[in-house]
Amino acid sequence: DSSLRPAYLDKLNAEQRLAVEHGDGQVAAPLLVIAGAGSGKTSTLAHRVAHLIVKGADPRRILLMTFSRRAASEMAKRVERIAGEVLGRDASVIADALSWAGTFHGIGARLLRDYALEIGLDPAFTIHDREDSADLMNLARHELGFSKTESRFPTKGTCLQIYSRAVNAQAPLGEVLGGVFPWCAGWAEQLKDLFAAYVEAKQAQNVLDYDDLLLYWAQMAAEPEIAAHLGGRFDHVLVDEYQDTNRLQASILTALKPDGAGLTVVGDDAQSIYSFRAAEVRNILDFPTQFARAAAIVTLERNYRSTETILAAANAVIGEAAERFTKNLWSERRSSEKPLLVTVRDEAEQASYACHAILAEREAGTALKSQAVLFRASHHSGPLEIELTRRNIPFVKFGGLKFLDAAHVKDMLAVLRFAENPRDRVAGFRVLQLMPGIGPSAAAQIVETMATSLDEAMGLARYRPPQRAAEDWPSFLSLYEGLRAGAKWPADLERIRLWYEPHLERMHEDATMRRADLLQLEQIASGYPSRERFLTELTLDPPDATSDEAGPPHRDEDYLILSTIHSAKGQEWKNVFVLNTVDGCIPIDLGVGSKEDIEEERRLLYVAMTRAKDRLHLVMPQRFFVHGQAARGDRHVYAARTRFIPASLLSAFEQTSWASVQAKDDPRRRPEVKVDLGARMRGMWK
């Protein structure tokens, strides 16, 4: 009886409905939705969750994992709207109950804290971001003497990358070195020792790095008793962007649901762009046959996002891929405009072109928020950012330098972390050195005293500071002891700021501006339920620089989006610009690049192009600046159109240049000569 059918089902196409109604609200066989960009995978997933809830599933027993925290909270809001339509309940109740929506890392952190005592972890563990992890790796490197005796020993960053890759791919070190870091293969033995020391240091200090959140989770989930408990906690487990999960993540899912019942994954193999973080496109391709129970597979073919012409160009680009499971999509959105291929002389012109076109769009009624500029690497937007600032065009940057990377914000958070976990040496080091008179060696000594005392805080209290620090020491001690005595949230941050402000003024000339950031941080903090949740979630998924929640440098209503292509995953805008669509950038200069690397670069361009709904501009500077690798240094290079758009595909695009756009716009432009007056004069006498 269709009158009893919830109305939201009518808005879906037949295949989407199949995915939403699979199992009709009950725990059912595993489900895979695999389809191209903009076909409604994410939207179908939201409807499926809502449908489960409408059919009686308990939202607290639904585990939903997405690519970013932002995506998770958007999804929760969407579910609330859809389910609220039918249930008529105060919708926010639903979103609140859907509390297990987040990223793999964020959910992992929560579960590990929850089961800490069962798995030999101290629940007060703190989490190191990549920078902290690199610092700790560096410490271990120094202690083993590798940085001294082996002058060409891999840098701390490279060491961390190798370690991380081996963990996430669940691959032996030798294999990782041979496959991805061949120039480091000679150091296999030293690296093994280094990683052993690194792991020991983390344990001694009760810190986990990003990779540990997955690694410990996977290991914990493989313990039969815990597995049963954990698996029994969730009836339904759903994952978006499954093509970008790695082996560890897949093993977590299998451990949670060994027979696959209640599992739903959605993704697009043509959008797999995270292999540098050990993502395995095989995860999604193998999913159907992975469980004793066969998985249901739904494919979607209609694209609702982009115009036909944009889709045709994107299909053409991905059509050249070596292998691909998802099929080409079709769209009913007609348009007479093809995507633009815009030639500009250099990055300065690229910035001028983008600003010009963005303002023209806004003039024509497209808000800045509906427009995005995408680029491969964060630093590629530099010249554009300068131009935008000059012209007073507000923007927000995703995937770039984060608000939390600012030194003063890191200082505040380090104090909080040090109070939360006195064994966190990286945090302790940073905090102690804020006081004049305490340098690296004194800080090391203090941290050491703390580590060897039975009670760290006692160790700290017993420390006798050097003369120069004597004045500041008591106020630090009382702050620290106060914070240790128990969290007062969010008031703790204010206490830290009041202690920190004199130091801030001493260290920085622009202290007033920085103070504004700290106030902003307190504002952000007030949105979190507890000190520990704040620390965990902020470390895992920091707010973006210049974002509205982060505040500075502006808080305009309407602003342009700047984003790396990687961070643009899953999103869409009316008008999209892709910068540096040239060889040497997309694909990046891949001197040693394998065939697979090139294929991943092609998919990257596909992801970028398929973000556009109405208009797409691929901009190609003929000359651009390369931040060089060691030997070759920074330099300008002359670039050609990306190899992913060979001449045979040009008919899918309209070609133009900044020069001709400018000429069209110039009110004083010279008329093209259409008359030959000389001939006319001569003709008059014939």
444-467 burial by CB neighbour count: b if 16+ within 10 A, else e? bebbebbeebeebbebbeebebee
For residue 482, how many other CB atoms are within 10 A of its CB? 15
Residue 241 phi, psi dihedral angles, 5° rounding: 55, 45
Q: C-alpha distances in angstroms, 553 versus 154, 303, 504, 545?
A: 37, 37, 19, 9
Partner that binds at residue 304, options ligand ATP, Mg ion, none, CB closer than 5 to 8 Å by kind: ligand ATP
Q: What is the DSSP code string of 530-563?
A: -HHHHHHHHHHSPPBTT-TTT-TT---SS-EEEE
Which residues inside 14-53 make contact with Mg ion, applying CB under 5 A?
A: 41-42
Partner that binds at residue 37, options ligand ATP, Mg ion, none, CB closer than 5 to 8 Å by kind: ligand ATP
CA 310 – CA 653 distance, rounded (Å):
9
> 188-207 mask for Mg ion (x: CB under 5 A)?
--------------------
| 38 marked as part of a ligand binding site | yes
Least separation in angstroms between CB 266 and ligand ATP? 7
| 41 marked as part of a ligand binding site | yes
**What's the angle, vertex CA 38, arms to CA 97 and CA 67, rounded to 5?**
45
Helix (H) or strand (E) segment spanning residue 309: helix 308-319
Least separation in angstroms between CB 208 and ligand ATP? 30
Partner that binds at residue 39, options ligand ATP, Mg ion, none, CB closer than 5 to 8 Å by kind: ligand ATP
| 40 marked as part of a ligand binding site | yes
With CB atoms as reference, the residue minimizing the distance to Mg ion is 42
* Cβ neighbourhood burial of 296 (10 Å; 0-12, 13-18, 19+): middle
> 589-628 mask for ligand ATP (x: CB under 6 A)?
---------------------x------------------
Residue 375 phi, psi dihedral angles, 5° rounding: -155, 165
- SS3 category, 573: strand
Angle between helices 491-507 and 407-420 (to 10 degrees): 130
Nearer to ligand ATP, 78 or 376 (CB): 78
Structure tokens of 164?
A: 């991380």
Nearer to ligand ATP, 247 or 305 (CB): 305
> 49-78 mask for Mg ion (x: CB under 5 A)?
------------------------------
Partner that binds at residue 264, options Mg ion, ligand ATP, none, CB closer than 5 to 8 Å by kind: none
The sign one gets for the Cα dihedral 404, 407, 412, 413 is positive
| 267 marked as part of a ligand binding site | no
- Is residue 269 within the footprint of ligand ATP (CB under 6 A)? no
- Is residue 239 within the footprint of ligand ATP (CB under 6 A)? no
CA 350 – CA 93 distance, rounded (Å):
47
Which residues inside 547-606 make contact with Mg ion, applying CB under 5 A?
A: 570
Q: C-alpha distances in angstroms, 320 versus 271, 301, 606, 648?
A: 14, 19, 11, 11
With CB atoms as reference, the residue minimizing the distance to ligand ATP is 40
| 39 marked as part of a ligand binding site | yes
Contact (Cβ atoms closer than 8 angstroms) between residue 158 and residue 184: yes
Nearer to Mg ion, 247 or 611 (CB): 611
Nearer to ligand ATP, 43 or 290 (CB): 43
Strand duo 126-128 + 207-209: pairing: parallel
- Is residue 268 within the footprint of ligand ATP (CB under 6 A)? yes
Residues ≥6 apart with Cβ < 8 Å to 486: none
Least separation in angstroms between CB 570 and Mg ion? 4
Nearer to ligand ATP, 416 or 605 (CB): 605
Applying CB under 6 A, among 19, 23, 28, 40 the residue interacting with ligand ATP is 40
Partner that binds at residue 549, options Mg ion, ligand ATP, none, CB closer than 5 to 8 Å by kind: none
Residues annotated as binding site?
35-42
Interface residues toward Mg ion, by CB under 5 A: 41-42, 570
Residues within the interface to ligand ATP (CB under 6 A): 11-13, 16, 37-43, 268, 271, 304-305, 570, 572, 610
- Which parts are annotated binding residues for ATP? 35-42
